[in-house]
Structure 1
Amino acid sequence: MFARITGAAFRGILVAMLFAMPSLILPASATESPEIIVFIALLGAALAFAEYYSHFPSFVEFRSAPPINRMRFAAFAATVGSLSLLAAHPLAPTGLTALVQQLGGWLGSQLEFAFSPVQLAVLMMPPQVPEATVLMVRDAAALASAAAVAAIAVFALVIRVGHWPVGSGAFNVWINLPLFDPTTGGDVVQRLQRDARINIICGVLLPFALPAAVKLATGLIDPAMLAAPHMLVWAVSGWALVPASMVMRGMAMLRIAGLIAQKRRAASLDANEAMQTA
């Protein structure tokens, strides 16, 4: 009980720190409504604590199958932190912000090739936006994209080399996939594979589709809002890491489907051997 409470409290504190990170890094002049940020941080902490303290799952997937959620959180934290430092450089430059700005500029120049998500994010910006803002968006998109690709690659290694989730013990579908009902519909393996492919396809297409959608909806959505530091941090982080999280979810579901199919084949072979022996 004590371990569950402390673990849930620790996760809640980490979530609160994630939401508060841009306000802690950016100068005070860039934060217009600190009370709203405090409220969101406390709300996120309360939700994380309630989810991990409860014995019954609600909406957080893979909570008993580390390290997928830890990797997601680490990717979000690294992206939000780096983008906050990038956005803080024009306002309060330091050695660390200059280093992040140089890294973002290098990644931006490397990843801004034809039809890349970074180039689409740049083309999304209206022509009247200052060049400095466009470069900031490009560098932020490049940093976030690099973090997203790194998270996916590391999780692929965890599956391939670490044999996830076998190393974490028995995989409970009800606890780790609370939004997936194995008792309804058709075959569980086919449904898992179908949902996994949908998640992977959507995760791959979203970084390309979202800038195009914003460009088409210019009258409703003003991309120039990305000039605001907080908007830049959260919009670009969500643009890159929500699709990456969907890809990781699809990879995890494909892995679970493969394990279930493998277990079925093993059970079928054992049954055949038992019949032959009899």
Structure 2
Amino acid sequence: MFARITGAATRGILVALLIAMPSMLLPVSATESPEIIALMAILGGVLTFAEYFSNYPSFVEFREAPPLNRMRYVAAFVMIGALSLLVRHSMDPTGLTTLVQTYGTRLGAALDFAYSPVQLTVLMLPTETPTDSLQMVRSAAGIAYVVSALAIFGFILAIRIGNWPVANGAFNVWVNLPLFDPTTGGDVVTRLQRDGRINIILGILLPFAIPATIKLASGLIDVSHLTAPPMLIWVIAAWAFVPASMIMRGLAMLRVADLIAQKRRAVYAHAEALQAA
């Protein structure tokens, strides 16, 4: 019980820290509505604590199948932290912000080629956007996209080399996929494969579709507000993290489907061996 409480509390604190990080790193002048941010951080921490303290899953997937959620958290932490330091550089430059800004500029320039997600993200801004803001968006998009790609690559290594999730023991579908009902909708393996492929396809397309959607909606919303420091951090982070998380979820579901299929083949082979004997 004590270990469960400690683990749940630690996770809740880490989630609250993640939500509050931009406000903690940015200068006070750039922080908007700190009371709302503090409330959201507390709410996120409480929800995370309640999820991991409970014996019964509710909405967090793969909570008993590390390191998937840990890799997601690390990716989000690095992404939001780096973007916060990048935005802070224009207001309160330090040695660390200069380092982030330098690498961000290089990554943004390298990934800003024709029809790339980074280029589409820059093009979604109004033509009258200042050059400094365009450069910041390009650098932020480059950093976020590289971090998300590294997270996906790391999870692929965990599957191929680390033998995820078998290396952690038996995989409980109900605990790790609480929103997936294995009793409805046909064969479980087929449904997992279908859902996994859909998640991967959507994850690949979203970095292209989100900037296009925002550009089309520019007549309804003021896109220039996206360059405001807190908004820039969260929009770029969501633009990169959500698709990466969907791809990782799709890979995980395909892996689970493959394990179930392997288990079935082993059971069938054992039954045939018994009949032949």
Range of TM-score over shorter length:
over 0.9
Task: Name 1:223's counterpart in structure 2.
Answer: 223
2:32 is matched with which residue? 32
Aligned-partner residue type, residue 144 of structure 1: A
Report the counterpart of residue 61 of structure 1 in structure 2. 61
Partner of 1:108: 108
Flag as ranges the 4+ runs of structure 1 deviating above 4 A: none
Partner Cα distance (2:92, 2:217) in 1: 33
Aligned to 2:120: 120
C-alpha distance in 1 between matches for 2:3 and 2:15: 18
Q: Cα offset for 1:226?
A: 2.0
Aligned to 2:219, what secondary structure does the other structure show?
coil
Deviation readout 1:129-167 (Å, 9 max, x if unpaired): 101101111100000000000000000000000000001
**Residue 211 of structure 1: how far off its partner (Å):** 0.4
The offset of 1:224, in angstroms, is 1.1
Contact kept, 8 Å, 1:158 with 1:164, in 2: the verdict is yes
* Pairing of 1:13-162 with structure 2 (within 5 A): 13-162=13-162
Q: Counterpart amino acid of 1:195?
A: D
2:121, 2:52 → 1: CA distance? 36
| Cα distance in 2, alignment partners of residues 218 and 32 from structure 1 | 23
| 1:106-140 deviations in Å (ceiling 9; x for gaps) | 00110001110000001111011101101111100
Identify which range, 213-222 or 83-92, moves more after superposition: 213-222
Q: Which residue of 2 aligns with 1:268?
A: 268
Alignment of 1:124-273 (within 5 A): 124-273=124-273
- The AA in structure 2 aligned to 1:241 is F
Equivalent residue of 1:217, what SS? helix
Q: Is the 8 A contact 1:137 1:226 kept in 2?
A: no
Distance 1:179 1:152 in 2: 22
Contact 1:62 1:68 (C-alpha < 8 Å) held by counterparts:
yes
TM-score under structure 1 length normalisation: 0.99
Q: Distance in 1 between matches of 2:8 and 2:172?
A: 20
Q: Which amino acid aligns with 2:242?
A: V
What's the secondary structure of 2:137's corresponding residue? helix
**Unaligned segments of structure 2, at least 5 residues:** none
CA distance in 1, matches of 2:88, 2:177: 39
3-state DSSP class of the match of 2:128? Answer: coil
Residue deviations 1:20-78 (CA, integer Å, cap 9, x gap): 10011000000121100100000000000000000000000000000000000000000
8 Å CA contact retained: 1:200, 1:250:
yes
Cross-structure match for 2:12: 12
Distance 1:103 1:164 in 2: 32
**Are the counterparts in 2 of residues 199 and 247 from structure 1 also a CA contact under 8 Å?**
yes
CA shift digits 1:158-185 (9 cap, x unpaired): 0000000001110000000001000111
Q: Post-superposition shift, 1:229?
A: 0.6
Structure 1 counterpart of 2:237, one-letter code: S
How far apart in 1 are the matches of 2:95 and 2:222?
32
Matched residues in 2 for 1:142 and 1:177: separation?
Answer: 32
| Equivalent residue pairs, number | 277
- Structure 1: runs of 5 or more not aligned: none
Q: Tell me, yes or no, if the aligned pair for 1:59 and 1:178 is still in contact at 8 Å.
A: yes
* Separation in structure 2 between the aligned mates of residue 33 and residue 72 of structure 1, nearest angstrom: 27
Shift of 1:225: 1.2
